[in-house]
Structure 1
Amino acid sequence: MNEKDNKKLEELVDKLMRETVLETPSADFTSKVLSQVDSIATSEVTTYRPLISKSVWIGLCALLVGTVIYSFFNTTAEPNWFETVDFSVFTNSGIGNQLSDLVSSKAMFYAAILFASMFVVQISFLKNHFNRRLRV
């Protein structure tokens, strides 16, 4: 019974396909669609905005250059502020002694290098993926 229904349905579809005329778009269809695509405004959600603006980068660079120039031209006989800071807290702590006893195998070393390299590769792939996804 199912085969008879399928055969009748197939005959009906064949009959309808023979009777219908193939429709073709107008000659300027492509240009009309492309003009509408060009007229769509870009969304504010997908526009690129850097995390650190240009003015902040300029300020950081100016601060760095100012510090370098100040340290180069500052020739006063005042004691350096590095000499007044007590760094013995870092050298007298037991963390350095505990870490010096740490032993790792070659396999752990190779695994860490492989992990770091795969991390760098994954970051580059994700950056390219999101750049392509957010491109308008």
Structure 2
Amino acid sequence: MNETEDKKLEHLIDKIMKETSLETPSIDFTSNIMSKVEVIANSNVTPYRPLISKPVWIGLFALIIGTLAYPLFFGTTETSWLPNINISDLPYNTMVAKFSNLIFSKRMIYSVVIFALMFAVQISFLKLYFNKRLSV
């Protein structure tokens, strides 16, 4: 049964091929396609701009360095006003007291550190992967 259907289908295709003629593209077919390609190539693409620009990174870096360097160069021997603050008056003191008795085992600390390192490695590999994949 399949052979008869195949023969009928083949006969139908042969009949259709005999009735139709070979189509040829117009004379300016190549120039029409190339003009469309040029329009696509010249389209306005939004250029890449980082979320945080270089001047902002430089300013943040200078602020951090300045904050760390100020006490080294301009520190005084005067007493600080921080010891005068009574911590028991602060509302979060009870919360701190509840969590102050927590003890973390070495195994827990090691696992958190290893997790953080693996997470950082994975992020760097994913960044490289997507940079390669998205670059044209």
TM-score (norm 2): 0.50
| Alpha-carbon offset, residue 14 of structure 1 | 4.1
Q: CA 1:60–1:85 in 2, change beyond 3 Å: closer, same or farther?
A: farther
The one-letter amino acid of 1:99's match is I
For the residues of structure 1 that align with 2:106 and 2:76, how far apart are their CA atoms?
48
> Comparing 12-21 with 55-64, which one deviates more in the overlay?
12-21
Q: Which residue number in structure 2 is paired with residue 99 of structure 1?
A: 103
The one-letter amino acid of 2:13's match is V
Q: CA 1:113–1:69 in 2, change beyond 3 Å: closer, same or farther?
A: closer
Output the aligned Cα RMSD. Answer: 4.7
The one-letter amino acid of 2:38's match is S
Q: Does the alignment pair 1:72 with 2:75? A: no
Q: Which residue number in structure 2 is paired with residue 48 of structure 1?
A: 48
For the residues of structure 2 that align with 1:8 and 1:35, how far apart are their CA atoms?
47
Q: Which residue number in structure 2 is paired with residue 38 of structure 1?
A: 41
| Alpha-carbon offset, residue 82 of structure 1 | 6.5
Q: CA 1:98–1:123 in 2, change beyond 3 Å: closer, same or farther?
A: same
> Within 5 A, what are the aligned runs for 1:12-31?
12-14=12-14, 16=16, 21=22
For the residues of structure 2 that align with 1:135 and 1:48, how far apart are their CA atoms?
11
Structure 2 spans left out of the alignment, 5+ residues: 88-92
For the residues of structure 2 that align with 1:15 and 1:95, how far apart are their CA atoms?
87
Q: Which structure's relative contact order is higher, taking Cα pairs within 8 Å and 6+ residues apart?
A: 1
The one-letter amino acid of 1:48's match is Y
Q: Which residue number in structure 2 is paired with residue 60 of structure 1?
A: 60
The one-letter amino acid of 1:52's match is I
Structure 1 spans left out of the alignment, 5+ residues: none
What is the aligned-residue identity percentage?
39
Q: Deviations over 1:85-105 (max 9, x none)?
A: 789x7xx946454315x4749
What secondary structure does 1:98 align onto? coil
For the residues of structure 1 that align with 2:77 and 2:99, how far apart are their CA atoms?
37
| Equivalenced residues, count | 125
TM-score (norm 1): 0.50
Q: CA 1:114–1:41 in 2, change beyond 3 Å: closer, same or farther?
A: same
| Alpha-carbon offset, residue 68 of structure 1 | 4.0
